Amino acid sequence: MPELPEVETMRRGALPVVGAVVTGIARPACHLRPISVSPRLSSFARRVVGTRIRQLDRRGKRLLVWLDSDCAIVFEPRMTGLVLLSDPPSLDHLRLRLDLGESAVPHLWYWDRRGLGSIRLLDRRQVEQQLGSPHLGPDALTLDVGRLRERLGARRTPLKVALLDQSALAGVGNLYASEILHVARIHPQTRCDSLTAGQWRRLATSLHDVLEEAIRYEGSTLADGTYRTVLNNPGGYQNRHRVYDRAGQPCPTCGKSTVRRIVQAQRSTFFCPLCQRAK
């Protein structure tokens, strides 16, 4: 968390900063675990202050703020990072502030409760080297059924585990993998190389449908309340989860079975044994 829908929500919410000039950069005092900022702040500031924000982009689970210097500030939220325009959830966890001029938005903040995220300033060549193939696969929202099968079809691993491989397809994490497989009616332990043509079609459809629906509802704010939109509002998609974190509860799809939890690759997987029958 955050996954593709949450980071895309951040990107869309932060669009008002496009056209702004970066007038300053600072790391607010924080006694907690420091996040990784590269290069060091003095060099970062020299290269950023005075530049204009040209566009916002997303690579998988990362937000890229492109500057007119053809460099990008890359925010990688990891578990608890947020990009904010106002009203941070708390002052203790503020990690970086960009001061903006010629903009209705005075600041862009990076907030991170656990401090696992990172901020990097990369030129275009470095972006492609570090966030392109083979390190990062194509964005999950760009894959049709043919490309999806091409990326995963020869694998002998369980499909749920394969969906989490960012080098195969970028953006899907643990939460949305469970939701996608439930909508596709595929058991999470099904091996990739055993899927039928019909299952591949259902998987490709549910991949797009679930992610796009989650974006419309501005992502998922879980019980810990960490994820917030750029204006510090909760997401809404958690109210539409079908199986994620619903172990022991009735399946909302069939109403005849209960959601189960198993562990795959050290991650929790949730599914309905009736809707998602194992072979």
The question of whether 3 is a catalytic residue gets the answer: yes
**106: preceding bond cis by omega (within 30 degrees):** no
Q: What is the spatial distance between Cα 160 and Cα 163, in angstroms, rounded to a whole number? A: 5
pTM: 0.96
Catalytic residue, candidates 3, 8, 76, 218: 3
Range 4-131 has CATH code 3.20.190.10: yes
Percent of the chain with pLDDT over 90: 92
Domain residue extents for the chain: 4-131, 140-271
Over residues 179-193, the pLDDT tens digits come to 999 999 999 999 999
Catalytic residue, candidates 138, 155, 267, 273: 267
The question of whether 267 is a catalytic residue gets the answer: yes
Contact 172, 180 (CB under 8 A): yes
pLDDT given for residue 88 in this prediction: 86
CATH architecture under which domain 140-271 falls: Orthogonal Bundle (1.10)
Tokens of 100: 């903006």
pLDDT given for residue 258 in this prediction: 98
- 4-131 with 140-271: one CATH topology? no
Q: What is the spatial distance between Cα 241 and Cα 263, in angstroms, rounded to a whole number? A: 19
Catalytic residue, candidates 11, 61, 113, 120: 61
Strand-pair category, 36-38 with 118-123 = parallel
Over residues 14-55, the pLDDT tens digits come to 999 999 999 999 998 888 878 999 999 999 999 999 999 999
The question of whether 61 is a catalytic residue gets the answer: yes
Contact 203, 195 (CB under 8 A): yes
Catalytic residue, candidates 2, 77, 88, 188: 2
